[in-house]
Amino acid sequence: MKEKLTVIKVGGKIVEEPETLNQLLADFSAIEGYKVLVHGGGRSATKLAAQLGIESKMVNGRRITDAETLKVVTMVYGGLVNKNIVAGLQAKGVNAMGLTGADMNVIRSVKRPVKDVDYGFVGDVQQVNAELLGDLIRRGVVPVMAPLTHDGQGSMLNTNADTIAGETAKALAQLFDVTLVFCFEKKGVLSDENDDDSVIPVITPVEFKQYVEQGVIQGGMIPKLENSFSAIDAGVSQVVITLASAINGQGGTIIRG
């Protein structure tokens, strides 16, 4: 029997506001057993970039990361946001350790090739060192992972937090019974986007296909669910999509293979 591990991914908005951060820290620290937290921090990066006179450019919700922007996101994600979370968890008795992909070579990426858009210093994950992470986790360390990786050649790379959570969960599924939780602003995947209580409790691959054909699931939720099924296919036990405030309770949408 593999030991249980929960990987929680939270967006920047939740960890950037003191009130929601405090609630998250309380809820996360109450999760029993082994756990990992993956966070974003985009709004803080945009704000600091503006203060430094650096324009933030986005394409399809993804940040174009030139050399100056890379400095900002490294400071904000790996420094300010990450260390605030780590300090907050330590205050709650959680032995947290902040990590970027470069630390201990835990996540190595390749710079995204230029196709229609040049995203600059953006990384696509190549490998996650599950053995090393697993060793830390079994020693009672709780990794807090920033959305930054490296290329092994000395360059940091800005990397999507959903991707880091998914790839980390997949890698750790070799060693643990992994549940991956994506937190976002709704209670789960909705059957009616205008009704916040119309949460679909469980989605299987067959149902997903039907919901997409019917137009029930559309837009940005499609890649999120595709990533979820990819994680299931790679050995993750289940994926949950829910509110950050509900990571300890029942509810949300469970994705099953």
Q: Domain limits at 97?
A: 4-183
Tell me what percent of the residues of the chain surpass a pLDDT of 90.
Answer: 81
- Would you say residue 89 lies in a domain? yes
What is the average pLDDT value for the chain, to the nearest integer? 94
Per-residue pLDDT, 36: 98
| CATH number for position 104 | 3.40.1160.10
pLDDT digit string, tens, across residues 13-33: 899 889 999 999 999 999 999
- Would you say residue 124 lies in a domain? yes
- Would you say residue 229 lies in a domain? no
Residue 229 pLDDT more than 90?
yes
pLDDT digit string, tens, across residues 34-62: 999 999 999 999 999 999 999 999 887 78
- Would you say residue 149 lies in a domain? yes
Residues 59, 61: Cα–Cα separation, whole Å: 5
Q: Compare 83 and 59 and report the one with higher pLDDT.
A: 83
- Would you say residue 237 lies in a domain? no
At 247, which amino acid appears? I
Residue 161 pLDDT more than 80?
yes
Per-residue pLDDT, 203: 95
pLDDT digit string, tens, across residues 166-184: 999 999 999 999 999 999 8
Instruction: Give the confidence band of 224 by pLDDT, cuts at 50, 70, 90.
Output: confident
- Would you say residue 254 lies in a domain? no
- Would you say residue 203 lies in a domain? no
Radius of gyration of the chain (CA): 18
Per-residue pLDDT, 105: 97
Residue 143 pLDDT more than 90?
yes
Per-residue pLDDT, 227: 86
Residues 132, 15: Cα–Cα separation, whole Å: 26
Residue 9 pLDDT more than 90?
yes
Residues 244, 91: Cα–Cα separation, whole Å: 20
- Would you say residue 100 lies in a domain? yes
Number of domains composing the chain? 1
Per-residue pLDDT, 194: 86
- Burial (CB count within 10 angstroms: exposed 0-12, middle 13-18, buried 19+), residue 195: exposed
pLDDT digit string, tens, across residues 237-247: 999 999 988 88
pLDDT digit string, tens, across residues 207-223: 999 999 999 998 878 88
For 127-135, what is the mean pLDDT? 98
